[in-house]
Amino acid sequence: MANDGLNLDALKKKYESVSKSLNNKVSDINWYNPTVDVNNVIRILPPWKNGASFYKETYYHYNVGERSFACPAKMEGKPCPICEFVEKLKRSSDPDDQELASSLWPKARFFYNVIDRNDESAGVKVYGSGIMVFKEILSYMIDPDWGPQLVDPKIGYDIKIEKTGKNIDTRYKVKARKEPSAISNSAWLDQLYDLDSIAKIESYDALAAALEGKDIVESKSSNDKVKTPSSEVATSSVKKDEDEFSSKASSESEPKRTPVKEEKKEDPVPTKSSHAENSEAIIAKLKKLRGNK
Ligand SMILES: [Zn+2]
């Protein structure tokens, strides 16, 4: 029988969409990270779907134990136990509480589909930047010398990202090329990551448990396997580019921000002990708040 009820074209389409969704698993994300003192050249790719922009804005709570969590309040307007905790801390006159509030404050992170011009064979990568780099990228897009076609695959412009310094002195400079260029492989446009799926939002209860350190115990004892994809993406993006985040802590002041302890240390990436210190401080504070009620 020639036709057994299966439409080959439909199956092909399905196969492609399934393959694409599999490619989009956050654990499979090919991350891009600029290197210090290297000529980092990237091309930001256009929106991954109709109605999307070329970037995805997310907000993360860093330093919750050993993990980072997308903030449901900032991203979806839903209650967030971590934000509620931060609000309580901010009302305290204790400098330690202010410091803890600063470290837990939700911080913006922007994701882009990019081509690493120094590693084109790797195909599409995802770059996560802080707000300063994002602002610089936007400044080129509103500059008539470049404009929104900055991210056009044919007549757009490559971008140089200069990363200098170490730890809290890490600085980024974004420079768009003067001459437009085309991307080398148009097939990349079919391989863009769905940036909407990058920041998975955990339930209120899961976040509350994480805040109380319950999650920390679990992830310590049973390794990374129990972690959800969202933790993987958050952790990987944080770890790989945390120096930027740390530099932000000093250069991008937020209301009532006070210097964070870690900034004075040589290593900007919070160490196990500083994670533990933070978790202990959070748990101690939570207990105190309950006792005060
Ligand atoms: Zn929050």
CATH of residue 204's domain is 3.90.198.10
Which of 109, 8, 20 lies closest to 57, judged by CA? 109
Distance 81 CA to ligand 1 centre (A): 7
* Residue 19 forms part of a structural domain: no
Check: CB of residue 109 under 8 Å from CB of residue 234: no
Share of the chain above pLDDT 70, in %: 72
* Residue 200 forms part of a structural domain: yes
* Residue 16 forms part of a structural domain: no
Distance 121 CA to ligand 1 centre (A): 38
Domain that holds residue 179: 26-292
Reported as a pLDDT band with limits 50, 70 and 90, residue 277 is confident
Distance 125 CA to ligand 1 centre (A): 27
19 vs 197, more confident: 197
Q: How many domains does the chain have?
A: 1
- Above 50 in pLDDT, residue 130? yes
Distance 186 CA to ligand 1 centre (A): 39
Q: Which tens digit of pLDDT belongs to each residue from 34-48? A: 999 899 999 999 999
* Residue 262 forms part of a structural domain: yes
* Residue 1 forms part of a structural domain: no
Residues by chain with Cβ below 5 Å of ion ligand 1? 71, 73, 80, 82-83, 106
pLDDT score recorded for residue 89? 94
* Residue 4 forms part of a structural domain: no
Distance 75 CA to ligand 1 centre (A): 9
DSSP string, 36-83: TTS-EEEEE---SSTT--SEEEEEEEEEETTEEEE-HHHHHS---HHH
* Residue 21 forms part of a structural domain: no
Tell me which of 109-113, 148-152, 207-211, 241-245 is least confident. Answer: 241-245
Q: Which tens digit of pLDDT belongs to each residue from 75-111? A: 999 999 999 999 999 999 999 999 999 999 999 999 9
* Residue 94 forms part of a structural domain: yes
Whole-number average pLDDT of the chain: 78
Q: Which tens digit of pLDDT belongs to each residue from 3-53? A: 556 777 777 776 666 555 544 455 679 999 999 989 999 999 999 999 999
